[in-house]
A and B are shown apart, each in its own frame.
Chain A
Amino acid sequence: MKTENQKAWFFVLPVLLLVAFNAIIPMMTVVNYSVQETFGDNLFFWEGLTWFEQLLNSERFYNALGRQFLFTFLILIIEVPLGIAIALAMPRKGFWVPVCLVLMSLPMLIPWNVVGAMWNIFALPDIGLLGYTLNHVLGINYDMTQDPIAAWFTIITMDVWHWTSLVVLLSYAGLVSIPEAYYQAAKIDGASNWSVFRFIQLPKMKNVLTIAILLRFMDSFNIYTEPFVLTGGGPGNSTTLLSIDLVKIALGQFDLGPAAAMSLIYFAITLLVSWLFYTLMNREDLNTEGER
């Protein structure tokens, strides 16, 4: 049981100041831009909610948002089951455990623009390993700079390569926390593999899986560097996710007002979905505590 103590605020103060400096001031700048028009030279004119109205009526915004949701949806339905399957198949103890864990973590430790660049080269049709194999060994016509399907295939594969290990590691952490006695009891009851998974392993992994899904959602919904370096949003606009479109508007066209309005809506959507996950997660915590 936690004790009530208002002095605890002093412990939190340094964190609060540092994060607020980085979060609130830039956020206010964005809010400020979102209601004004600028023609450069630091001249700003009041525009009210024009940008928001324009944005919510623009097809371009909905297309980019749709692509962002599609991307997040695809990587979640691939990475989560795949991650669980790999975690289930991993050895539980012995020499190979740390080896597996270290090797699996490697992709996550590579700077994001390097990830994009290495996949770009990896996928080049004539000189990259992936592109060469697909085109010349398997005979599939594959060129991600020409074909939107190939481009989507590449960014999805890249993200699966980059982040599935996160789901694996989390599920694995949940799995090893299950006492051996549970499995023995299941064996005595003659439980099938499926019921062991459904009634012992899955419930034990629920908490860590919620964290995994929350983290994967937040990061994939905000993803920018990797797909930008890999495809540049092309061919055409086929892989222009919301984040890529945003930077195009803000830094490419220097339309600060519309870009700021877009940022705020973007942030609000992320916040809303994450809040849903977070509440769900805390409610699960409460339930398990009640059972104890």
Chain B
Amino acid sequence: MQKRSIVPIVYILFLMLPIYWLIAMSFKTTNEILAGFSLFPQTFTIEAYVTIFTDPTWYWGYINSIIYVSLNTVISVCVALPAAYAFSRYRFLGDKQLFFWLLTNRMAPAAVFALPFFQLYSAVGLFDTHLAVALAHCLFNIPLAVWILEGFMGGVPKELDETAYVDGYSFPHFFVKIFLPTIKAGVGVTAFFCFMFSWVELLLAKTLTAVAAKPIAATMTKTASSAGYELGLLAAAGTLTIVPGAIVIYFVRNYIAKGFAMGRV
């Protein structure tokens, strides 16, 4: 038992090394980083973090990202709920084909779609809005949400629905009052996954925004090119992008594995 736990410990150490390096660098001055190798910050400074929290171009990057990610999570979960219910409970014309077609959208290389997306959202007048990014991310998040929710709903016996109808519940009443509470873990996990994939995707987010809804990643790239190479500042900005994910994952820690298995364990 003791010998076995070496494997996960070594693996976690391997995972933490680059993250440690990023955090350590964020507390160094740019001069120290460029001067040579040092395992710990020699002149400990929080200047980079002060810059980020006081300069609007920096902190608005985070706010913009959080706005479109939240918007996307709400849209994805809300439209995926009824669809997943339909897939898990009913057979209808073309259901299997439709389900596979939904999945194929997760396979489309985002690099391919960047330019057409730019043209599409410019044409409908949504370019550089939070809504544009939130809607664009639906392309891969809705299929994922349907897939995960369908897995969780499949685990709920059909007798639950039938008993509720016999007891005289209407469908909306049943769905909100009985069904949703039964699968609330599934809804939480789905929301987490939508949040996560929208948060980490930046190619489309960058393509669809210019100033008003610019995500943090775009701010980072811009700084990297315009202000020379401020490594300390970039490292601090990078460190801060890990924080929201780390916070939300804490809430779903017991369901992550089941969520990754699309509720099919």
Contacts and interface: CB of A to CB of B under 8 A. Distances in A.
B253 A101 contact: yes
Interface stretch (B41-49, B52-60, B179-187, B234-242): B234-242
Contact of B199 (A9, A14, A30, A109): A109
Interface in A98-152: 98, 100-114, 117-119, 121-122, 126-130, 132, 136
Size band of the B side of the interface? 35 or more
Interface of B: 4-8, 11-12, 14-19, 21-22, 25, 33-34, 36-37, 39, 75, 79-80, 82-83, 85-87, 89-93, 95, 98, 100, 102-117, 119-120, 135-136, 138-139, 142-143, 146, 196, 199-203, 216-217, 220-221, 231, 234-235, 238, 241-242, 245-246, 249-250, 253-254, 256-258, 260-262, 264-265
A104 to B, nearest CB: 7
24 contacts: A3-B90, A3-B91, A9-B93, A12-B98, A18-B135, A19-B138, A19-B142, A22-B139, A27-B116, A86-B11, A98-B253, A105-B249, A107-B19, A111-B199, A112-B202, A127-B33, A129-B18, A130-B18, A132-B37, A161-B15, A172-B257, A173-B260, A263-B112, A274-B104
Interface-centre pick from A126, A129, A243 (highest chain B CB count, 10 A): A129
A161 B14 CA distance: 8
A3 B18 contact: no
A273 B231 CA distance: 41
B36 A15 contact: no
Nearest to A135: B37
A75 interface: no
Contacts of A90: 8
Contact of A114 (B83, B238, B256): B238
B135 A174 contact: no
Contacts of A18: 75, 79, 135, 138, 142
B83 A113 contact: no
B264 A208 contact: yes
Interface-centre pick from A117, A208, A267 (highest chain B CB count, 10 A): A117
Contact of B217 (A111, A256, A271): A111
Contacts of A263: 109, 112
B21 A118 contact: yes
Contacts of B91: 2-5
B83 A110 contact: no
A222 B109 contact: yes
A86 B7 contact: yes
B114 A11 contact: no
Contacts of B139: 19, 22-23
A177 B115 contact: no
Interface-centre pick from B80, B111, B117, B262 (highest chain A CB count, 10 A): B111
Contacts of B5: 89, 91
B202 A111 contact: yes
A108 B115 contact: no
Contacts of A63: none
B116 A26 contact: yes
A121 B79 contact: no
Interface string A1-40: 0111111110110111011011101110110000000000
A102 B80 CA distance: 26
Contacts of A101: 253, 256-257
Contacts of A3: 89-91
A155 interface: no
A15 B111 contact: no
A23 B112 contact: no
B256 A105 contact: yes
Interface string A261-290: 001001100110011001000000000000
A113 B231 contact: no
* Shortest beta-carbon contacts, A-B, top 9: A109-B245, A26-B116, A173-B257, A11-B86, A89-B7, A29-B116, A8-B86, A8-B90, A263-B112
A129 B21 contact: yes
A247 interface: yes
Contact of B109 (A100, A136, A224): A224
A4 B103 CA distance: 23
Given A22-B139, A117-B220, A224-B109, 19 more contacts: A4-B91, A6-B92, A12-B83, A21-B135, A29-B115, A85-B7, A91-B5, A101-B257, A103-B12, A105-B256, A109-B246, A112-B203, A118-B18, A169-B260, A207-B264, A211-B260, A256-B115, A266-B109, A274-B107
Nearest to A207: B264
A166 interface: yes
A110 B102 CA distance: 26
Contacts of A122: 17-18, 21-22
A30 B82 contact: no
A269 B193 CA distance: 26
A284 to B, nearest CB: 11
A77 to B, nearest CB: 18
